[in-house]
Every structure is written in structure tokens, then in C-alpha cells.
């Protein structure tokens, strides 16, 4: 039998919580000099939009940044931004001990271990972070959508691996956090799929609350300026809520 594991939010989690908060941290490094929160928000929006617009089964980080459209006198070159993004990912990633222990147990029983990821980051980068976090061992195999040009999401990556490994779907066990890509899709092929979920750590919750607080503060500051109202008054009306456009 073969046992495969998703990587992000299964074997490895981000200390900052959700993936989108990586871009908030990246925005702090993206400019040569300190800049306003408005510019940082614009940077994050542009980065996320570039990822959305370049999606494909073979999407790479380089393709995302080739479509990245944000101009600012102090913005770092795209090559440097890609390096910074990988640096932030490495700094934020940490292993899930319970999953690492499960993988170690399966290895001791003589089972093959595969790591599978729908990810624009490169094969070499993912291999390195698996090694650095004590998840990878000699004899394991890694399959990455950006390298192969097929994803779990469409099911093509599962079919590719089945042929590559010459295994029966019924003798394959897969673990992952995404209920669609890691459970529903592989189950259609007859793979024994198991959903894995983790609760956020206090640090992750703190980081996410920080993001929410900063977004709200930026909102009431903007509204108070545009409407010529005091921040205290705007806060009394908003009461923690954020509106967009003319509704604000």
C-alpha cells in the first residue's frame, strides 16, 4: 500500500494562520522604504489578483509575478519579491507533529510515503522545506503541480501518480485538509481519502486578529477623512463592521 499526504495545512502549517496573511507579511518587506498601509493593501491586492489571473494546472511563482501589476517608486524588483515571498513562507512554515509521527509510524511498517501538492511554489522549494522541518526522509517521493502540470483539484495529478507509481487506487490512502481536492476527488477514483483538520494556535489567532484590527482601523480612518467626521463617531456607527464603496 501507498500513503500520500498533502503538504500545506496537513504536514506543514503557517504560523501566521491562513495563506493570505503571508502576503501581508510580504508587504512589509516589499518596499525599499517605509510606506503607508494603503500602499501595502494595494500590493497585497495586486499579488492576489495576479495569482487569480494566471491560474493553470502548471502555475508557477514566476508566472504569477510576470502578471503582477503594481507600480511604486519604492517597490522591489520582481525577482527580489519572489525571493522574499519564499523567504516568508520558509519563516512561517512549521511541522504538524501529530502528522509527522503518523508518517514515521507508516514508514516503520514498510509503507511508501508520497507528498502531493497543488502549489505554484517549485519542487525544489517544497523539498527543501519538507527536509528543514523534519518531514521528509530518504525514499519518499514528492509530486508538485507546478512541476508536473496537473492538479489534485482536477483529478489529473492523481491519475498521473497512479500511472507513475503503477499502483491500484484501492491500495492507496491519502490524507489532506481540503475537502474537495483531498477527499471528494480522490474518493471518486477509489482512493481511501481521509480529511485532516487542525485548530489554530494562539499565535495564529493573534496574527489573524492583528490583521482584522488593522483593516478596521484603516477603514475608519479613511471614512473619517473622506466624510470629514471624527474617528470616534465613525467607530460608534461602524461598531467593528467594514463597508465598501458608497455604503461607507
State pLDDT tens for residues 167-211: 999 999 999 999 999 999 999 999 999 999 876 566 555 655 665
Cell digits for 108? 516503520
Cell digits for 27? 508587504
State pLDDT tens for residues 131-141: 999 999 999 99
Residue 20 has pLDDT above 50, yes or no: yes
Answer for the pair 111, 3: CB distance below 8 angstroms, yes or no: yes
% of the chain residues with pLDDT over 70: 85
pLDDT at residue number 244: 47
Please give the model's pTM, rounded to 2 decimal places. Answer: 0.81
Strands of the 172-176 sheet, one edge to the other: 141-144, 112-117, 2-6, 172-176, 192-195
Residue-wise DSSP of 31-55: BSS---HHHHHHHHHHHHHHHHHT-
* CA distance readout (Å), 230 to 223, 226, 234, 235: 9, 11, 6, 9
User: For the chain, how many residues are written?
Assistant: 248
Residue 162 has pLDDT above 90, yes or no: yes
Please, which pLDDT band fits residue 127 given cuts at 50, 70 and 90?
A: very high
Amino acid at each position: 500500500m501507498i500513503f500520500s499526504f498533502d503538504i500545506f495545512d496537513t504536514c506543514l502549517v503557517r504560523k501566521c494562520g491562513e495563506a493570505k496573511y503571508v502576503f501581508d507579511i510580504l508587504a512589509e518587506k516589499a518596499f525599499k522604504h517605509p510606506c503607508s498601509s494603503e500602499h501595502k493593501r494595494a500590493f497585497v491586492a495586486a499579488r492576489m489578483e495576479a495569482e487569480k489571473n494566471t491560474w493553470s494546472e502548471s502555475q508557477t511563482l514566476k508566472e504569477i509575478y510576470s502578471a503582477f501589476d503594481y507600480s511604486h517608486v519604492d517597490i522591489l524588483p520582481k525577482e527580489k519579491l519572489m525571493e522574499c515571498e519564499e523567504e516568508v513562507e520558509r519563516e512561517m512554515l512549521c511541522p504538524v507533529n501529530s502528522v509527522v509521527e503518523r508518517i514515521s509510524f507508516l514508514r516503520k511498517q514498510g509503507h511508501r510515503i508520497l507528498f502531493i501538492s497543488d502549489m505554484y511554489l517549485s519542487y525544489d522549494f517544497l523539498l527543501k522545506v519538507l527536509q528543514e522541518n523534519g518531514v521528509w526522509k530518504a525514499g519518499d517521493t514528492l509530486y508538485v503541480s507546478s512541476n508536473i502540470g496537473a492538479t489534485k483539484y482536477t483529478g489529473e495529478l492523481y491519475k498521473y501518480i497512479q500511472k507513475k507509481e503503477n499502483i491500484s487506487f484501492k491500495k492507496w490512502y491519502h490524507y489532506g485538509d481540503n475537502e474537495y481536492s483531498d477527499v471528494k476527488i480522490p474518493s471518486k477514483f477509489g482512493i481511501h481519502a481521509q480529511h485532516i483538520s487542525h485548530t489554530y494556535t494562539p499565535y495564529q489567532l493573534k496574527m489573524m486578529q492583528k490583521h482584522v484590527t488593522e483593516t478596521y482601523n484603516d477603514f475608519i480612518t479613511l471614512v473619517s477623512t473622506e466624510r470629514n467626521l471624527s474617528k470616534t463617531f465613525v467607530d460608534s456607527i461602524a461598531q467593528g463592521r467594514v463597508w465598501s464603496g458608497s455604503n461607507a
